[in-house]
Chains A and B, each alone.
Chain A
Amino acid sequence: MSELLKVPTMAEFMAEGKQPEVLFWVGCAGSFDDRAKKITKAFVRLLNRANVEFAVLGTEESCTGDPAKRAGNEFLFQMQAVTNIEVLNAYEVKKIVTACPHCFNTIKNEYPELGGQYEVMHHTQFLKSLLNDGRLTIEGGQFKGKRITFHDPCYLGRANNVYEAPRDLIRKLDAELVEMKSCKSRGLCCGAGGAQMFKEPEKGNKDVNVERTEQALDVKPEIIAAGCPFCNTMMTDGVKAKEKEADVQVMDIAELIANAQDL
């Protein structure tokens, strides 16, 4: 696989006196988590393929503050937010795309009041718009006819009412989209939100991700599609806990589309 990724930074664009059409906000998981980095790269390959003039902040990017805010640390959240907004505004960023629903929600909804107003898109929405504009084509490839179920990330679905963009993309793969018994606005959380990703769960009789994975396995999918790096981790762990990793893959929508085209 060719790994010649074109990933220009905002600083490089600025040096040339140019503005990219969109800023790709990579997020902490997308930057550091081994599994999520693959999603980041898959998305970049798609951006490269569609000749999108995008840029990343690179080392100037910092946590949006989402996990701090959900944990109750409003101070830390606002410090992060104000710092990020300063950087984004200095580069006169207008449009942001991100593959993380938590970054998406925070920048889209909670930054404006603090002085950061941008058009923010989840990567599934952005890919959908590329598709609509004829800049990207989607082929089924290896996923043609496969049974795929989509796990709604809470911060994309319920939090922001985005349910269709990821599903439209899956349908474009000529795959068989099957819905879990609780989906869309009633989708069950993967268990990672609200800063749970970073701590052990409270005492109970089951882990949330196992419960959700069982719901997914009930519809006998070959692939569980996700649209969030944290959901991806939780569902992958859930599949492992059910010892189904040989039969069921957990993949981000961006990976599905990129892999279908052998990118």
Chain B
Amino acid sequence: MNYIPNIIFAIALIAGIGYFAKNVKKLIRNIKLGHDVDVSDNKSQRFKNMAMIALGQSKMVRRPIAGFLHIIVYVGFIVINIEVLEIIIDGLFGTHRIFSSIGNLYGVLIGIFEILALLVFIAVTIFWIRRNIIKLQRFWKAEMTSWPKNDGNFILYFEMVLMTLFLIMNATDVHFQEMNNGNIISQYIAPLFSGLSENTLHFIERGAWWLHILGILVFLNYLYFSKHLHILLAFPNTYFGKLKPKGQFDNLEAVTKEVKLMMDPNADPFAAQPEGTEAPAKFGASDVQDLSWVNLLNAYTCTECGRCTSECPANQTGKKLSPRKIMMDTRDRLEEVGKNIDANKGEFKPDGKQLLDDYITREELWACTSCNACVEACPVSIDPLAIIIDMRRYLVMEQSAAPMELNNMMTNIENNGAPWPYNQMDRLNWKNE
């Protein structure tokens, strides 16, 4: 027997999965560059969120057309992957359609795969039309040029090609067509190849089979470099998503300590730092390492759909702020930091750049109304607002770089307990006016 195809297959499989695993390790390392946050609470609620939002796609259907099409692609992706299991077994052991021995059920399964493959192809084509012909506004915002724009289309082409290969593979499988069990769609494609010899058909079938599995392995490895990572990260991201009311921002613990000390009449302001206490943390975030790992997971999860940006009041009125860009910038900078670490033997060497200014401008940060529309809109529980607020904190507390009017407002609060210059003693005057 000739084992060469089996060996080539095994090598391709190991290489494909191995390289992906290597990048997943890198991904996890990069995410862990963020500071720690405790998200070990409320496990049952978290599982429920993951089941509803990621598995159940509950937020996708808020926009019914995109939501419906997305569910087709999503279900297709999951179900058709059962077929990949057969392909892997066949490839490794040199069998052909090993599951076909289960009889009628096999026909049902393949029939479902074929219908889904066709539906996915149609849905993906509509997605492509929405992006490139109808030119839906959210796909043509300022941040959606060059790579992000191409990435979106590449994914669609990938899926079109993979589905086509799957159907061609079935259509040119003479044996499978003769079985006439499950070839619901491919029986209509088979006539296209009717004039060809059995050998040629076999050659096309093998070609489609190989390209299909190699395509899947390439696509798997494409994920790490693409916005398409959401197909994996949507699950952990919805699990670790914010559970508190959206209006509740975290109270910085480092600040609480200092404030408590200031308010404590018995505290000795000149006392030496007790041993073991850390140097005061940096307040807020100017770079990705200052954000929490959940923020960074958010950035890798973002699939750049732009629902956040299309709901953002600042963006709708022509301001520079786009919550999607906040997430894309965070990921881009995180990747840059990751590459820096790779190039410097595991140590980050300062590169004179940071997330603030080099990626996200102050103008963007100050345009936010903190209205949570972006957070509400995200179908996978990403929180762009948390990053915006953390960066404002850096600007205000580390750099005193708030816009002048905000400094006036804060001075008023400090001096008179109100954002306007009115005396606190006049607070009840309205009663007699």
Contacts and interface: CB of A to CB of B under 8 A. Distances in A.
Interface of A: 5, 7, 9, 26, 28, 30-33, 37, 40-41, 56, 58-59, 61-63, 65, 67-76, 78-83, 105, 108-110, 113-114, 154-155, 158-161, 185-186, 188-189, 191-208, 210-212
A45 B199 CA distance: 92
A78 B255 contact: yes
Contacts of A154: 247, 369-373
Contact of A158 (B260, B372, B396): B372
Given A31-B422, A158-B246, A158-B372, 11 more contacts: A32-B427, A40-B430, A59-B425, A70-B389, A73-B402, A105-B248, A159-B246, A198-B408, A199-B409, A201-B319, A206-B317
A28 B403 contact: no
A71 to B, nearest CB: 5
Given A32-B418, A71-B392, A109-B247, A189 B373 contact: yes
Given A59-B428, A198-B405, A28 B255 contact: no
8 contacts: A67-B419, A68-B409, A74-B255, A74-B283, A159-B245, A202-B314, A202-B319, A211-B316
Nearest to B420: A32
Interface stretch (B10-18, B268-276, B360-368): B360-368
Interface in B245-290: 245-249, 251-252, 255-256, 258-260, 262-263, 283-284
Contacts of A41: 430
Contacts, number: 217
Interface string B405-433: 11011100110011110101111111101
Given A58-B427, A63-B418, A194 B371 contact: yes
Contacts of A205: 317-318
B395 interface: yes
Contact of B247 (A67, A160, A188, A202): A160
A78 B316 contact: no
B311 interface: yes
A78 B259 CA distance: 7
B345 interface: no
Interface SS of chain B: helix, strand, loop or mixed? helix
B241 interface: no
Interface residues of B, number: 69
Most A CB atoms within 10 A — which of B246, B284, B363? Answer: B246
Contacts of A191: 313, 369
Nearest to B428: A58
B320 interface: yes
Given A191-B313, A205-B317, A71 B402 contact: yes
A197 B413 CA distance: 14
Interface of B: 244-249, 251-252, 255-256, 258-260, 262-263, 283-284, 311, 313-314, 316-321, 363, 366-373, 375-377, 389, 391-397, 402-403, 405-406, 408-410, 413-414, 417-420, 422, 424-431, 433
Nearest to B255: A74
Contacts of B389: 70, 72
Given A158-B371, A202-B319, A204-B318, A75 B430 contact: no
A56 B182 CA distance: 75
A82 B260 contact: yes
> Which 7 A-B residue pairs are closest in the complex by CB-CB distance?
A159-B247, A194-B370, A72-B392, A62-B417, A205-B318, A204-B318, A189-B371
Contacts of A32: 418, 420, 422, 426-427
